[in-house]
Amino acid sequence: MNTEPRFPRRALLLGAVGVGASLITRAPGWPFFASGQPVTAERLIGLLTVRNRAAALGARYLHVVPKEANARVLTSLLLHSLSRRNVRLEHLSDEQLRECVRRASINDFDHERIFELEGWILALTEARLCALAAACANANLRV
């Protein structure tokens, strides 16, 4: 009787497919079925659960930092802070993109890049995402 643990062929096959996918996409662990959608201002704003409240906080941020009161500027700044090595953001699902926002926010807190707006303490990434909602609402863009 053999007491060594067996490694099922199916697990080996699925592991090989996962490694192949990682090599093809150059993004370890991201699946083929990721969205492939461009990361636009509208897609970033879509990550917010309460857009009107976020836009109100964002308007306050834009009042404090008026040089960022442009949807293109904010989108560019957000994409820069969300980007990770060897990961193309457009290949991420919305859930994976939310995880990038979460990690960027933690990094902001770790480096004391924070804003206090109307009693809320926000990471710079969060504040800019709220500001993007406000800038797009002000520009009458579809949100």
Q: How many CB atoms lie within 10 A of CB 16?
A: 10
Residue written as token pair 């993109």: 97
How far, in Å, CA of 93 to CA of 89, rounded?
9
Output the pLDDT for position 101.
94
User: What confidence tens digit (pLDDT) does each residue in 4-15 have?
Assistant: 444 344 443 344
Q: How many helices (H) and strands (E) does the chain have?
A: 6, 2
Find the mean pLDDT for residues 76-95.
Answer: 83
Q: How many CB atoms lie within 10 A of CB 21?
A: 16
Whole-model pTM: value is 0.70
